[in-house]
Structure 1
């Protein structure tokens, strides 16, 4: 076992603002000069950073990183950790869970990738979530109750997110779930060594503490009808999830020991399955398939298996394994196949590397063509063939290559090729494609007061379901208040609110029209301020990247296991950053589209036209101003602005 804290190897910067041979001028709209001046002057434009634009739950990532790094100060008497956590949980009430398991599309979108490496957003989220649990932080109760009642069907990430947001808005919420405990796929899909149950329980309990009630072991459509709920509640949210697995679409896949990933993981997370076969083959390529493979590696196998202890019988729910058999376990040989090459697989790259370190054989470019069975009907091998796979118009096309077939021996075959919604008792809602049609507010078409979210809309990430729940909660709130369901913003995120910061500091604000724009007359904002967060994601080309020096990423310590060490090891593998590391990592954030108070514009302005706002009138996002009687439009402030917050306009 090794406990590593790898650092990014040093390498020279690759960014240069101007390269040898550059001769093409910028667009004439940006560079209209008359001698040493132009008709343009600086404007201050708040944009959405690409990390936030890539986050399905719309977290104010730039906002809480600026708090962690010390740029945005918390209110008096509040620790910066709590203030950052509260900014984070405006969008996502489960940061300690998501900080561990989210594949972090925000990091893929991070503009810092153009300098050396992305900001470890996920690791800072992990740190804040852990700090909040350690210090027993809770959510603030709503100031008043509306008296309206909402039923949330499904206690997974979408349902919990909707319940959380609705409770904060003052509505009474009841969650109905067919399982014994809340959490959905976070509890019954992801193994505990990735999401420790104490962490999951703590974050769920905070939501319940807002006054949210729960009814467990209650399936809608069977134990209670949708019509009954509609008569008792003012609105409904359906977060059904997709917890029915998809079997392999090949001949012989009906064998008893050919099971789905969701059934496999549920049997494990229920504590019923204690060992698997000697040879396990997993078909997939996403994070779920990695979870199955790593669980199988940890469970191992026993030499002499009684008929009642066969893995498929336990998965089917007939019995639980005898705990006494654990002592006889040996390692299982686990193979994971994917139609994509390994570097193109959808699973988190870090998880793939961990699985390979544990001795799991990952083979890309293979498609299943048949399940081979013995005389008793049990699967003995998976026949695969080399293939070419590509996405065409959003659909996966897989073409087997003739003559490349081979057989991979197996005692257990697990299909992790996707999930489906179980519409039993709710067939009328099925759109014929295994989902439910909804508008941009996630209201079911033609059914006011009925909203949906999560995998029932589109199977995707846990954080996507959290985002759906929050947007649906906004729609439900407006519905309950008899307000029209307006069109959602093009970029639907939790944006930094300058007006909130001014009110928090006690600064006066004048009338500001929406979308928020400042003028040189209104005290409501800095001169010529505009908030484009609802419609513009700022690219790296708008930043002065030359400002940022090479700074290695602060990485979390990860426990890497060998093939032998993985057996029976269910300890958490990923440790949170230390406080100093979290702060250092937050300082790597380039604060794209928002001032981070670097003073470049003030220092480099040759006319001293750009100046600091007096401390008594300044706040985050309101740090510098421009004296337009001095400004000649030389563009220098825009050119040296690292974050792209300063744009040239005013004359157009």
Structure 2
């Protein structure tokens, strides 16, 4: 605790962002650094709460409560207040391999569990993490890590957060690590699934350069199970860690789902970022929303990213459909008590931009899509919806019930499906005959990460299903520990 009365003296100051009117004109990152005095006082707001629930990293009611990486948050908050920035960086990276990623795209379950947030506004943990890691890069404190060579060779499939985390820790203890990535750039969904304005790709490339300098080998444009068999990796390496993600997108089973102009959100976002990086969108190899009426089916971060991307293309209009009710403005203690993740209305950057441009929030709640209608050329032209209520079925489950007379037709030229992911693709799991769980994820016990096949481990979304980046980083770290134990009999990875 930096200052005993800091939480009483200073109010929460949100992260500083460029104005919506400015940022929708480009693809640059929307966040900017804050005044040093503000950073100091925000660190001082961390109170001596006795039991820092922000460390937690547990699941409560199916959602993360506290940091899954178990970041030592009060400690680096105090160091920020005292101006000991390098010590704050060292403390942060004792538990977190890549704070530059989590500080930008993690929804901050640490803040949801902050003790101060029980009766006041929580500490701005996420933005303080951002300030620490950016100061560390600016000052040259971030160095490549490589341990004494063990002679053991490990293959990692996938260069998303779980794969990079596993590679980072295994390389740091001296193993020879090779990462296989099917795309032409490293990062998985961090590279192509998250828009540039939320995570500039030079940030990913900056870390990639450090990992290469530390000795990690990267094999790009190589799809395991297609360009090289998964069995070859098992035969050639001392261990294999599968971190290929949960990339099988959830579809919409309604009439018209195959019309031209209906796309998975992830395909829309991937193509846009690749074209932006390859040619600044000059090659035309992306799905454009320019001049179009855009309907996004699904909420969450992906839906928000689609809103923001469509606006930057110059769409005519953009709406989001969410089948769930609108969250309350504040946490409901009776059904969503602290320190659970607070289920309350959040106006994210994409909605902020839509409100600035169109004068209203693009989200529409309790809406179910009945069918998608096309024109004579097979192109989407309308989306037909109905309002719903959630009611309890005879079995006790909550099910949607249509509200008579609420049918509506929406003009649409582009429909984006942002309804999450079903699980990992089947190629590798089928080839290696890996056990799967009921959700089709590769089966491996948490904190063990070993599959039913000797030498083969799995971590991240491929094991747990679609989840937060911070869980992927933690699973990458812990799977590295288990691989290290498997090869060496013990591990110093914590």
- Contact persistence 1:56–1:467 (CA under 8 A): yes
2:267 equivalent to 1:263: yes
Q: Deviations over 1:174-227 (max 9, x none)?
A: 100000011111110111111112222112322222211100001110111111
Runs of 4+ with deviation above 6 angstroms: 2-7, 344-347, 390-396
TM-score with structure 1 length normalisation?
A: 0.59
Mapped to 2, the partners of 1:463 and 1:395 lie a distance apart of 31
- 1:143 Cα offset (Å): 4.4
Task: Tell me the SS of whatever aligns to 2:102.
Answer: helix
Mapping of residues 439-478 of structure 1, within 5 Å: 439-457=445-463, 458-478=465-485
In the other structure, the counterpart of 2:208 is 204
Mapping of residues 217-366 of structure 1, within 5 Å: 217-271=221-275, 272-273=285-286, 275-276=288-289, 277-300=291-314, 331-343=315-327, 349-351=347-349, 352-359=351-358, 361-366=362-367
In the other structure, the counterpart of 2:92 is 88
Mapped to 2, the partners of 1:139 and 1:348 lie a distance apart of 36
Mapped to 1, the partners of 2:396 and 2:370 lie a distance apart of 23
Mapped to 2, the partners of 1:401 and 1:83 lie a distance apart of 58
2:76 equivalent to 1:64: yes
Structure 1 residue aligned with 2:408, among 398, 406, 410?
406
Mapped to 2, the partners of 1:284 and 1:186 lie a distance apart of 20
Q: Deviations over 1:11-47 (max 9, x none)?
A: xxxxxxxxxxxxxxxxxxxxxxxxxxxxxxxxxx985
In the other structure, the counterpart of 1:55 is 67
Structure 2 residue runs of 5 or longer lacking an equivalent are 1-18, 23-31, 39-48, 58-65, 276-284, 329-342
Does 383-392 or 269-278 show the bigger shift? 383-392
In the other structure, the counterpart of 2:378 is 377
In the other structure, the counterpart of 2:420 is 418
Mapping of residues 619-638 of structure 1, within 5 Å: none
Q: Which has the higher contact order (CA 8 A, sep 6+)?
A: 1
Mapped to 2, the partners of 1:355 and 1:97 lie a distance apart of 25
- Contact persistence 1:365–1:386 (CA under 8 A): yes
- 1:482 Cα offset (Å): 3.0
- Contact persistence 1:112–1:118 (CA under 8 A): yes
- 1:162 Cα offset (Å): 0.7
Q: Deviations over 1:377-426 (max 9, x none)?
A: 22211111112348999998433334322111100000000124222353
The structure with the largest alpha-carbon Rg is 1
- 1:374 Cα offset (Å): 2.1
- Contact persistence 2:55–2:71 (CA under 8 A): no
- 1:117 Cα offset (Å): 0.8
In the other structure, the counterpart of 2:121 is 117
- Contact persistence 2:449–2:459 (CA under 8 A): no
Mapped to 1, the partners of 2:173 and 2:406 lie a distance apart of 59
Evaluate the alpha carbon distance shift between residue 390 and residue 336 of structure 1 in structure 2; reply closer, same or farther with a 3 A threshold. Answer: farther
Mapping of residues 47-196 of structure 1, within 5 Å: 49-53=53-57, 54-70=66-82, 80-139=84-143, 141-196=145-200
Alignment RMSD: 3.1
Does 410-419 or 84-93 show the bigger shift? 84-93
Does 249-258 or 136-145 show the bigger shift? 136-145
